[in-house]
Structure 1
Amino acid sequence: MPVITDPPPPDVVADLAVLRAALDDRIPKRKPDNLLIATWNLRAFGSLTRKWHSGPDDSPRRDLHSALAIAEVLRRFDVIAIQEVKADLRALRDVLKLLGPQWAFAMTDVTYGQAGNAERLAYLFDTERVRLSGLACELVVPDDLDTPFSSAANAFQRQFVRTPYAVSFLAGTKTFVLVTLHVIYGDQSAKRKDELLAIARWLRAWAEQEDDFGHNLICLGDFNIDREGDPLYEAFVSTGLTPAPDHKGLPRTVFGGSRNTNFFDQVAWFETVRKKPYLTLEYRTGGNFDFRGVTMPELTVQQLSYRISDHFPLWVEFGR
């Protein structure tokens, strides 16, 4: 049985060369004066089939080739928020072996229950570029009716299905706090709206509290927002959260066209707090990485979604 550190076969080597060239072309290089932050919902990121090419009877379909491709994408960033990390960490551990000893991770415990889908939230980060600065917490809301974080329509009387996860990092002299979450998904958009309202109000209060410290609060993850301008989007931006401008119109999933309207994944922050600019980081640019037709082009989109993911990584570049 092959392992992730074995030399890959020639066809995998050739595929990875094409992938690296596309990444070189579409994602800024990491430099001393920049910071690259990404979010990626990695579909059911749990176990791994220890073959270079999984077969129709293998479960999961994600294989060693897939792990190498995922690692090639991840290594282009300094910090990546990952959603849908499962209880089984085989794929994550193999990817970390590929990334090298300077890479580390922080994660939540598994969220059990049907709605929680046995998922974790995680951050992967390159310790040669950023380091932890002390804060790691999960966000909860008070359950009393008078809380400012409750929904205006009906007070938010339960916790988030998958508790948002906040971790602070230091890049040079700049502190930034990332808050990632995977908003509940389902047919009842009202439940999603409650979660989006709650997180927007929570983050606004936190930003105002931390404003004097220059902590650069940034929210990122899979918010399951259907489209710009719908009630879910309006709930998300209701307290001033501003999505990265270069993400407007970009596809978020493998099932959309070259440009589509879904807004599932977001990276956002407050432009102003207390009537003054909030971020001390300088926003430069942002984008996604559409890997369709780049890696494993022989697969259907559905097959590719189980090898790599059904979501694209979404990234932003800041100046330090």
Structure 2
Amino acid sequence: MAPSTKRVSSEEHVAALRTRIDDALPRVVDGRSPASLYDAVEHVLRAGGKRVRPILLLLVAEAYGVSVDRALPAALAVEVFHNFTLVHDDLMDEDDERRGGATVHVKWDPGTAVLAGDLMMGLSYDLLGQVDGADVEALHAVYHPMVERLCAGQALDASFETEEAVTVASYLDMIDQKTGALLSAAFELGSVLGGAPASERARLGTAGRLVGRAFQIQDDLLDLIADDEEWGRGVGGDLVQGKKTFLTLRALERAEGEEHAWFARLVTDGGLPRADVPEARDRMADLGIFEEARAAVRTYTEQAHDHLDPLPDTAATEALHWLLDRLQAREY
């Protein structure tokens, strides 16, 4: 009698992919010099993270029958690229901490942060070209527009700091670029590796954009309600910096009279004092902002699920649906 095989759960499936990625990332720069540059890159790649983008790519590719070994270089490419954006984002926002550790421009200096980010962008392209037997031109047809859209989104986000009137619709458009572009590309790259037709690739790309909206709004929410230690950076930081987020923009739209004047300091004063964060949290709760944000996260996640219908019914597809639900429910 053949031995029985235990079916791997979706949680175990995703955890195994995360381990593969965590193990492989530092090897991208293993043994390279000069240390003054590559140590900074290794610091970033070893800092951990949810690895959402590469896992999504691997699951889509797996759903189409592509092995993890073959798809792994493309998955590493999107994660290295994502970390490049974080290094430059931290520098632009003057953030001191990322994932519980010092940011590159703090641990080293701003110049090293610029160079480390530039290098990681180049490394991501190199990794994308290492996929065995892949149509590199088709991969680049997804990757190049993603880079442009993401940079445009970052520029929009920066421009919001000096604009007094930013609408929620404008904010969502910015998310679709800054956050959604790479997530959309992860879905599309996995489908390209799987040989999916253009119509399926486009539908899966839309799923990634919707995941981007859900992910960023959840991020905005957690910035105010997450456990400080788990969050890895100061809770309420967006309010202190005067950042325009889904929550702050909806508060400004909903609030009236004295309430509106209280929140308007986010714009007029460039942020709130740290001591006012608890009161801001209470005021937003009274306005129903947190409930609205949670509802938006649920809606965009449900829409993303609907756009996965081209995928074959496989364990990888099941794990992909599970992961989208876990992202919606995350607490840090």
TM-score using structure 2 length: 0.29
TM-score using structure 1 length: 0.30
Larger Rg: 2
Higher percent of residues as helix: 2
Higher percent of residues as strand: 1
